[in-house]
Structure 1
């Protein structure tokens, strides 16, 4: 019986030994830590994404209980995950986009954004005369299409309101958290095309993640302009 992996996002006290205690507690329930990524650091706390591998059939609640048995640790979210966290994932994606043929570059972006940015799906959209045009989409993009958006044109990466009037009901039902960033050459500091990212079931995008998405979108925009 093969093992399965989960991605845990945890808040923990930013003090010596916290991560070691967390690793020991997770290990006590049979979880093997495959990789760890520091998402954000604040005053006295850290937010980490941890990929763990457990035997198939193990309950996610067991991982949550083990983690939160450590003083100062809170689990923000847990979800199934394929693979491990990649340290240089954004740089590798930019290199792949730059190496692709011009018309394929944005498709490369949306195909790889879910893995690189740890989201459920990604699309590139623009406003059209009859509503919203989906220009590119990852294979995991929802079947329900947008009929309107309130955030275009867009000037900077931002987290979007999951309960806004333009959000389809099916997206709300799946508790989809979203972020968007400008893509392409901007006019007057704003862009008419956006990279739209969805994370079904959460968690919310952290400020550091929004900043990372913004850096990536600006680099992609520069690559597109140079080409």
Structure 2
């Protein structure tokens, strides 16, 4: 068969519970290899109570069903696959993706572009079903991806979350939010049936902090420019006499 006619491999994110002991991940990788898969990335999302939740990025031949991969991995003692999702953009390096996201955020040309970028990158990085940036007072949507819940639902969710966790936001199973405190907005992410893990919540919070700092800086510069451009300030500057240079004493 001509290899040029073969379809490219499919990139999958396999989220699995493993026993937190030496050799567990190696056993999973061996099962993945048994069905022709190639492990190209691993991220530990959470650890505790003798268990770890890993997200394993796998490139699988297009002819191999994902169900076969799941069955093989579940054969490993102490392993349970929680979710498998396809990565259409082929992302395999979470660290590089995070750096590129930060670069896009700080390079945004205006507030609208920044909020759209924040929403888009958070939506993709979290594998979210939907993502939205809202104004906390009133729940006005300023950027969104996917089919977001109603404005009333979003406002009620965030208000309830603020009442119980005002400092760091709240994760409720498959919906999480983080504030942009300097600008009175929030980033809200939602999935269906897949819990947001600790590392994913920290990642969303970090993106929100970068965006919030950019917005605060831009608004402060804009406010300063407005004050300097005020007619009264310009008139005051024109009326201010120029300081005359002090005469130097002549030598005697």
TM bin, normalised by shorter chain, reads 0.7 to 0.9
2:94 aligned to 83, 86, 91, which one?
Answer: 86
44-53 or 147-156, which deviates more: 147-156
TM-score (norm 1): 0.78
- Structure label with greater radius of gyration: 2
Where structure 1 has 5 or more consecutive residues not aligned to the other structure, the ranges are 162-176
**Which residue of structure 2 lines up, in the alignment, with residue 107 of structure 1?**
116
1:16-35 equivalent positions in 2, closer than 5 A: 16-35=22-41
Q: 2:147 matched to 1:146?
A: no
Q: 2:167 matched to 1:159?
A: no
Deviation at 1:144, TM superposition (A): 5.8
Q: 2:175 matched to 1:185?
A: no
Q: 2:115 matched to 1:120?
A: no
Deviation at 1:143, TM superposition (A): 6.4
- Measured in 2, the distance between the counterparts of 1:72 and 1:7 equals 19
Which structure 1 residue ranges, 4+ long, deviate > 6 Å from structure 2? Answer: none
**Which residue of structure 2 lines up, in the alignment, with residue 54 of structure 1?**
60
In structure 2, relative to structure 1, the CA distance for the partners of 1:179 and 1:143 (3 Å cut) is closer
Q: Retained in 2: the 8 A contact 1:114–1:121?
A: yes
TM-score (norm 2): 0.71
Query: Aligned to 1:210, what secondary structure does the other structure show?
Result: helix
- Count of residue pairs brought into register by the alignment: 202
Higher helix proportion (structure 1 or 2): 2
**Which residue of structure 2 lines up, in the alignment, with residue 198 of structure 1?**
190
Query: Aligned to 1:87, what secondary structure does the other structure show?
Result: helix
Q: Deviations over 1:127-147 (max 9, x none)?
A: 566xx4221123xx1166433
**Which residue of structure 1 lines up, in the alignment, with residue 211 of structure 2?**
220
Where structure 2 has 5 or more consecutive residues not aligned to the other structure, the ranges are 1-6, 219-252
In structure 2, relative to structure 1, the CA distance for the partners of 1:220 and 1:128 (3 Å cut) is closer
Higher strand proportion (structure 1 or 2): 1
Query: Aligned to 1:151, what secondary structure does the other structure show?
Result: helix
Deviation at 1:34, TM superposition (A): 2.0
